[in-house]
Amino acid sequence: MVQGVEVGVGEVVEALLARVRAARAGLAAAVAAEDPYAVAVAQDELDDAVRFARRHGLDVTVTGTDEE
């Protein structure tokens, strides 16, 4: 832990969820701009944000552009 810095669990959870929300918004913007490179970068960010949130016990769902 960084000396002199205290962060509550609620703040960490909110930061993780904010990252997921921002990644989803970034992906939507990249899709709307029809920019394949930006979509790939945004999808990677969303994947990372979701993976990190899940690793810390948060139940987040993924809504991406990939069709399965």
pLDDT of residue 4: 59
On whether residue 66 sits in a domain, the answer given is no
Is 39 part of any domain? yes
Can you tell me the mean pLDDT for 13-38?
96
For the record, the structure tokens of 59 come out as 């139940």
In a domain, 62, yes or no: no
Measured from the Cβ of residue 43, the count of other Cβ atoms closer than 10 Å reads: 19
pLDDT, greater one: 38 or 1: 38
Determine the average pLDDT of the residues in 17-21.
96
Overall pTM surpassing 0.85 (yes/no): no
| 36: in domain | yes
* Total tally of structural domains belonging to the chain: 1
Instruction: Please write the tens of the pLDDT for every residue from 32-67.
Output: 999 999 999 999 999 999 999 999 999 888 655 443
Which residues form the domain of 21?
11-55
Tokens of 62: 């993924």
Per-residue model confidence (pLDDT) at position 8: 78
